[in-house]
A = this chain, B = another copy of it.
Amino acid sequence: MKKHNFSAGPCILPKEVLLKASEAVMDFNGSGLSLIEISHRSKDFVAVMENARSLALELLDLKDKGYTALFLQGGASLEFLMVAYNLLETKAGYLNTGTWSDKAIKEAKLFGEVIEVGSSKDENFKYIPKGYTVPSGLDYLHITSNNTIFGTQFKKFPKTDCPLICDMSSDIFSRTMDFSQFDLIYAGAQKNMGPAGTTLVIVKDDILGKVSRKVPSMLNYQTHIAKDSMFNTPSVFAVYTSMLTLEWLKNLGGITAIEEVNEKKARLLYSEIDLNPVFEGYANIEDRSLMNATFNITDEVLKTTFDNMLKEAGINGLNGHRSVGGYRASMYNALSLESVGVLVDVMSEMERKG
């Protein structure tokens, strides 16, 4: 049975990417050796790393604008720490839009004062804070562009005097915008880019080297920049597979092209959620995420029936996160409009039955 994979991450990747990645594990570039058994310093793998880094900048239109792309290990969670370690001298601002911002705040507090410039905690993060003022004198302001768990997404970004840092783990490469408004972007690969095991960091070089503390080598962005993202052995398979996804996206027409599909998918699902009385959306309408749609079933009695129908339709990964409950449909770049169509059909069918 065909599967429709709505998993929140790790999540669906393009079929052709999976195929190429699988083949490279047996034979990389016709070398007779596996991708994962050659030196990361070999010509062939250095080319992969360079290509991946270059494609990331190109797709975000950040080439020749003072940015460096890095593929690091540790996940977005290690970036919570690295951002503060490298940039927080005295005080930093954070917008608290959910679990992930909260964790970022926790790590930053080890290094300096943290000002929660805005928060939507009062309504369990179902909206994006607005109308806040960014105080002056911050070392940086940190935001989470898309809140994977709660299904909210920034549509407009704050203007700041200080560097703007963005955790884009769950919506990078999904929509067009001026990426140069950010000074540092990071994203765990395992949503729109690749398998778990590598994190993309895009950093504007001139914001670095300003804190007075000594930053350990592995946590120092400057170490990794100086070594072209090969200070130590990178997560070879995850970087290669990410490169394949970025190539796939480029061939498709880049972010402009995928954004159109992403908007169609989201429109289709959200209108079903709104029109169908069996379901109701969780996040405020104006802040809804194009990537993760959170919704509830209005009558809990119908849950078992609905869950069985999902299973029969081959729909996977629709359970909501425990901090929200209900359902969450993650519609990352590689998910087809067809899969969303299948989900919407099941929801309509549920309405007829319910």
**Interface set of A (CB-CB < 8 Å, partner B):** 1-3, 5, 7-13, 18-19, 21-23, 25-26, 31-34, 36-40, 73-78, 80-81, 103, 106-107, 110, 188, 190, 194-198, 214, 216-219, 231-238, 241, 314, 316-317
Contacts and interface: CB of A to CB of B under 8 A. Distances in A.
Given A39-B317, A77-B232, 6 more contacts: A18-B34, A19-B26, A38-B316, A74-B218, A107-B216, A235-B238
A81 B217 contact: yes
B8 A34 contact: no
A10 B22 contact: no
Q: How many copies does the complex hold?
A: 2
Given A8-B39, A10-B38, A37-B7, A233 B73 contact: no
Contacts of A214: 110
A137 B7 CA distance: 51
A216 B5 contact: no
B21 A25 contact: yes
A76 to B, nearest CB: 8
Contacts of A219: 81
A149 B53 CA distance: 28
A22 B37 CA distance: 13
Contacts of A39: 7-10, 317
A235 B3 contact: no
A36 B78 contact: no
Nearest to A21: B25
A12 B314 CA distance: 38
A33 B3 contact: yes
Contacts of A21: 25, 36
